Amino acid sequence: MLSIDASLIVIFLIVWILVFVLTRIFFKPLQKVMRERESRIKGNEEASQKSLETFEQAAREIEEKLKTARTQAQRIKEDLEREALKERERVLAEINAETRKKVDKAKKQLEERVKDLKKELDSETRQLAESIERKLMN
């Protein structure tokens, strides 16, 4: 059987003193460090979550601005294409008009040259006819 003697009481006191001392010297500072570490981790998690939310919001805003910019760029491109087509049509019309003027001028010159050549041909024909007539009469 168990007998209770003085050594049991001494061991009991030593164990309680060790528990008290270890709690004061080791366990409380360890728990304090662990709580601080836990609070830092929670703070870092919250900060990272806020940063992530801020990043996602900024990314959404940037995407929306990019969409708007793309739409505006497309509109500007279409406007410039329309203006370029109008300018092309205008230039083609000018070239066409200038070409018509040149063709008309060339036609007039040709007609004048044809008239001059007809006159020359008529006069040469008369001279040739007179010359043939003279030769035949001689």
pLDDT digits (tens, 9 = 90+) for 23-40: 999 899 999 999 999 999
| pTM to 2 decimal places | 0.48
Distances (CA, A) of 25 to 2, 36, 38, 39, 110: 34, 17, 21, 22, 122
| End-to-end Cα spacing for the chain | 186
Return the pLDDT at 9: 84
List pLDDT tens digits, range 81-134. Answer: 999 999 999 999 999 999 999 999 999 999 999 999 998 888 888 888 888 888
Whether the predicted pLDDT of 138 surpasses 60: yes
Whether the predicted pLDDT of 2 surpasses 70: no
- Give the dihedral sign, CA 39/40/43/45: negative
Distance CA 51, CA 60 (A): 14
Q: Quick one: pLDDT band at residue 6, thresholds 50, 70, 90?
A: confident
Whether the predicted pLDDT of 73 surpasses 80: yes
Q: Which residue has the tokens 């001028």?
A: 105
Q: Can you tell me the mean pLDDT for 65-76?
A: 97
- Give the dihedral sign, CA 62/67/73/76: negative
